[in-house]
Structure 1
Amino acid sequence: MLQQTRWVFFCAAALVAGAAQATDVAVVGLFPGKAVLVIDGGRPATLAVGRSTKNGVKVVSVQGEQVIVEINGTRETLHLGQRVVKSAASTEAPTVNLTADSRGHFLAVGSINGAPMRFLVDTGASMVALGRADAERARIDYLKHGRPSVSQTANGMVRTWVVKLAEVNLAGVTLHQVDAAIHDSDLPVALLGMSVLNRMEMQRSGDTLTLRKRY
């Protein structure tokens, strides 16, 4: 079976290292089980899942065109072609900046229990909501460990199971022990409900929504 490898090349000017005591990471290639990263403007380095560099950058998981990397102890979910600069230490609360799409919806990429996930911010949802397929990818045995419940949706009441998510990561902001409702059917996207948003300060300015971790 042919393995298709995707590469994105950057001009040198786009890879200038950040300020002192910061780590600059760009994703320039992804293929099964490995990621090709440019760190601090250096030469591309191929890292397998679980491997770390001397700079403290670790590849946690790779799926499709997304990679979860750990930089200075903080996890980031990056797409092919994305770049992030993380300070080695900061006294500021972790923040996430989201931009509204053409319909005014705020979408974000992140992970649940290390499994890459796409979220839709939904202040009308009391907790994070996942479809069956997403729950299986995140290795959540909701039939065994979940509490049977029901949830109100646009199509009426549906059967769900309430569970505790061990870890939710949203663009580098990590929360633990998060309540979630698992639907016994697939959802087009995971809903980022109030069990996460209540632990954030939310500030909207035009088409930008800023989420700042409170606890």
Structure 2
Amino acid sequence: MLGKQISFAVIAVVVSVIAAKELMRLAPRPDAAPQTAQIRPAAQPVAPVRAALPARMGETRISADQRGQFSTDAEINGARISGMLVDTGATLVALSYEDASAAGLFPAPADYKYQVNTANGVAHVARATLNDVRIGNIVVHNVEAVVGERGALSGSLLGMAFLSKLSRFSVESGALVLKQ
């Protein structure tokens, strides 16, 4: 039963990664001519916002990027992980091999026993438990995750294993609000 749940969770993570890649591919490039007339000040380049913005004690706000996605820097097991995509469609937290290594997670080769389909083909992931995940002034302990083999995942995702441990999360005025 647990094996099936993990398989479904991993599939959800992979589908989320693929969907995010497709949305990024389909989004207009900054150097492409806009399809509708827009007036923007030339001196102010638009940069992605990755930092979580503390609002109140136990609350953090993450601004949406140009595509309406929420990505943020996180601290996992004491290591800073940049640009994690917040994904409510992902069951678990999914870490790239590189981000997992930075967080001190080194699954044995035999641990990569769960297969998932990605845009790059079949990949293997290993289960892991994160001691703590910090975003802004919010800290969540004992978070379930999967770690992709080297090169299997291009980025890392914050899924429901993290979000469900919060008292609430919502989108308000273009920002994802996380409340502990």
Contact 1:145 1:163 in 2 (8 A): no
Return the match for 2:129 from 164, 184, 190.
164
Instruction: Decide whether aligned partners of structure 1 residues 150 and 194 sit closer, same or farther in structure 2, where only a CA change above 3 A counts.
Output: farther
**Residue 95 of structure 1: aligned partner:** 59
Letter of the 2:94 counterpart: A
Larger Rg: 1 or 2? 1
Structure 1 ranges of 4+ moved more than 6 A: 82-86
**Residue 12 of structure 1: aligned partner:** none
**Residue 198 of structure 1: aligned partner:** 164
Give how far 1:183 is off.
0.3
1:172-191 equivalences in 2 (<5 Å): 172-186=137-151, 187-191=153-157
User: Is 1:135 the counterpart of 2:100 in the alignment?
Assistant: yes
| Rounded Cα–Cα distance in structure 2 between residues aligned with 1:182 and 1:207 | 30
Give how far 1:157 is off.
4.5
Give how far 1:84 is off.
7.2
**Residue 177 of structure 2: aligned partner:** 210
| Rounded Cα–Cα distance in structure 1 between residues aligned with 2:176 and 2:79 | 24
SS in 2 for 1:180: strand
SS in 1 for 2:108: helix
| Rounded Cα–Cα distance in structure 1 between residues aligned with 2:104 and 2:156 | 15
Letter of the 2:161 counterpart: S
Give how far 1:199 is off.
1.4
| Rounded Cα–Cα distance in structure 2 between residues aligned with 1:154 and 1:124 | 17
| Rounded Cα–Cα distance in structure 2 between residues aligned with 1:156 and 1:123 | 23
Give how far 1:85 is off.
9.2
| Rounded Cα–Cα distance in structure 1 between residues aligned with 2:177 and 2:127 | 28
Give how far 1:127 is off.
0.5
User: Is 1:105 the counterpart of 2:69 in the alignment?
Assistant: yes
Structure with bigger RCO (C-alpha 8 Å, 6+ apart): 2
TM-score by length of 2: 0.61
| Rounded Cα–Cα distance in structure 2 between residues aligned with 1:175 and 1:165 | 9
Bigger helix fraction? 2
Identity of aligned residues (%): 30
Bigger strand fraction? 1
Return the match for 1:122 from 64, 84, 87.
87
TM-score by length of 1: 0.52
| Rounded Cα–Cα distance in structure 2 between residues aligned with 1:130 and 1:116 | 13
SS in 2 for 1:142: coil
| Rounded Cα–Cα distance in structure 1 between residues aligned with 2:93 and 2:53 | 28
Q: Structure 2 unaligned segments of length 5 or more: list them.
A: 1-49
Instruction: Decide whether aligned partners of structure 1 residues 137 and 158 sit closer, same or farther in structure 2, where only a CA change above 3 A counts.
Output: same
Alpha-carbon RMSD across the aligned residues, in angstroms, is 2.9
1:11-160 equivalences in 2 (<5 Å): 94-118=58-82, 119-143=84-108, 146=111, 148-155=113-120, 157-160=122-125
Instruction: Decide whether aligned partners of structure 1 residues 154 and 180 sit closer, same or farther in structure 2, where only a CA change above 3 A counts.
Output: same
Contact 1:146 1:163 in 2 (8 A): no
Give how far 1:175 is off.
1.0
